[in-house]
Chains A and B, each alone.
Chain A
Amino acid sequence: MRQINSIEEYQKYVNTKTPNSPIIKNCFNAFWVGGLICAIGQIIFEFCKLRGIDETNSYIIVSMLLIFLSAFLTGLNVFNKIGKFAGAGSLVPITGFANSIVSPAMEYKSEGYVMGVGAKMFTVAGPVLIYGISSSILIGLIYIIFNTQNLILV
């Protein structure tokens, strides 16, 4: 091997030495596990409708059950294994969001309920909330500006 003389050269060389994640395998697993989670949600939804619950409430029940399931599996040390296998497949649905709140809550319990659980609970989910809510406000503003004729003032 010839000598490396600059940071850029070294970075390039390191990139050739660093193995990539198995993207095709990861995508495939993410696809079917993510699909499965969505299918479970749909089954719960259809079941609720069958029992005569209206659509809005059925959606709420779906979210609640999936959040509960994910939080429960996180507590049982199972969700991290699913997440390791499925990656974005279990992370992107609402299950990933629940996991991202429960896992720091568990981790920081040793620092107490205020400075530990309370303060650290949103370390992972915090950015998602901040930018999720901020962007929805921004899009809401754009909607108000460009759709004045449909706006109903309360």
Chain B
Amino acid sequence: MIIIKKVGKQSYILSNPITIKESASIVGPKEKNGPLHQFFDKCLEDEFWGEKSWEKAESKIIKETVNMVISKSGIANADIDFCFAGDLLNQCIASSFGLRETNIPFIGLFGACSTFVESLIVASSFIDGDFAKNTVCAASSHFCSAEKQFRFPLELGNQRPQSSQWTVTGSGAVILTKDGTGPYITSFTPGKIVDMGIKDVNNMGAAMAGAAEDTIISHFKDTGRSPNYYDAIFTGDLGYIGKDILIDLTESKGYNIKSNYNDCGVLIFDKENQDTHSGGSGCGCIASVFSGYIYKMLQEKKYKKILLIATGALMNSTSSQQGESIPGIAHAISVEL
């Protein structure tokens, strides 16, 4: 018998809720000084972590995070069927280089900063479809390697615009498993590509807010849920400006998320003392905040139902130099106890 899991236009309810068995997170020195530092498993003292380049350092961060989550879970390496991971570096080299020695079938993913939730969606579909029993999902980003690829050299004496965001140095990884006692992934809503026509690469929050609005409203309409069904709603890296815009946009469509909504990019840094302008960004932002802070809140039952929406800006430096606008994407997943 075929069970239709799709509800509404683009949402899916899993027939067997998938357990998030374990999580691990490693972050950089700036995140260490941020308000969430006590929730991360490991905070680095410097951006190189004993490596010769930032790219190597990022690879090491995702490698060690994945190793950590596997050893914490107690599942043998051989019993993990897939590794779903991605990052921001050209051709996703941080994850493929970092994970080349894991000996686990690897499926590299790219969804810009939405990669973490994208990997959770793909992994839970694999598990729900009986293609896998245990999977590991991970994503990473590194401030220095991202600046090098997308912006200016670090030592250049320039000023950052107020709308710019600070790429999180860090990685988060989780183990998803078929049988378990929760927290469960119960449903997901993959997002459509939404282009709001924003061309300013220093205002990613505004570029991605439209995609987040589209996904969040589709999720509510498809599942028949309202914003207060969830204890908390988190977006990935809209930052202060994007967060404000998303609240306005959803309100204009008749959904009020103001009271229980926050953004991981807003949570991870202290805006006033850390000079991060519009907040954190990058694949590692939602990955580390979820694996560190949110997962622990779920374990402590402070949140029982959450909606996680990771947002990504689907551009590169060539497209922005050619004057193209920035298409956004947002994927949502609901996690319940």
Contact = CB atoms under 8 A, between A and B. Distances in A.
Interface of A: 1-4, 7, 10-11, 13-14, 17-21, 26, 74-75, 77, 79-84, 86-87, 90-91, 96, 99-100, 102-104, 106-108, 110, 124
A7 to B, nearest CB: 3
Contacts of B252: 1-4
Contacts of A99: 155-157
Contacts of A110: 52-55
A86 B52 CA distance: 31
Given A4-B249, A14-B245, A110-B53, A84 B155 contact: no
A106 B153 contact: yes
Of the candidates B54, B154, B159, B163, the one having the most CB atoms from chain A within 10 angstroms of its own CB is B159
A10 to B, nearest CB: 5
Dominant secondary structure of chain B at its interface with chain A: loop
B241 A18 contact: yes
Interface string B220-260: 00000000000000000000010011001101110000000
B156 A124 contact: yes
B159 A84 contact: yes
30 contacts: A1-B249, A1-B252, A3-B252, A4-B249, A10-B210, A11-B198, A13-B248, A14-B241, A14-B245, A17-B241, A17-B244, A21-B159, A21-B161, A74-B157, A75-B155, A77-B155, A79-B157, A80-B156, A80-B157, A82-B157, A84-B157, A91-B157, A96-B157, A99-B155, A102-B155, A103-B156, A103-B157, A106-B155, A110-B54, A124-B153
A12 B330 CA distance: 23
Given A14-B203, A19-B162, A99-B156, A7 B148 contact: no
A67 to B, nearest CB: 14
B158 A91 contact: yes
A75 to B, nearest CB: 8
B26 to A, nearest CB: 21
Given A87-B159, A103-B153, A106-B155, A17 B148 contact: no
A18 B206 contact: yes
Interface residues of B, number: 31
Contacts of A3: 252-253
B247 to A, nearest CB: 9
B155 A107 contact: yes
Of the candidates A74, A106, A110, the one having the most CB atoms from chain B within 10 angstroms of its own CB is A110
B204 to A, nearest CB: 11
Interface string B251-276: 11100000000000000000000000
B197 interface: yes
Nearest to B51: A110
Contact of A7 (B163, B197, B248): B197
B152 interface: yes
A18 B162 contact: yes
A26 B157 contact: no
B196 A83 contact: no
A79 B159 CA distance: 12
A10 B197 contact: yes
Contacts of B197: 7, 10-11
A18 B253 CA distance: 22
Nearest to A6: B197
Interface string B158-185: 1111110000000000000000000000
Contacts of A96: 157
A83 B156 contact: yes
- Per CB-CB distance, the 10 closest pairs between chain A and chain B, nearest first, are A83-B157, A7-B197, A107-B153, A103-B155, A103-B153, A110-B53, A14-B206, A103-B156, A19-B162, A1-B252
A103 B154 contact: yes
Given A83-B156, A91-B158, A110-B54, 4 more contacts: A4-B252, A19-B241, A74-B157, A75-B155
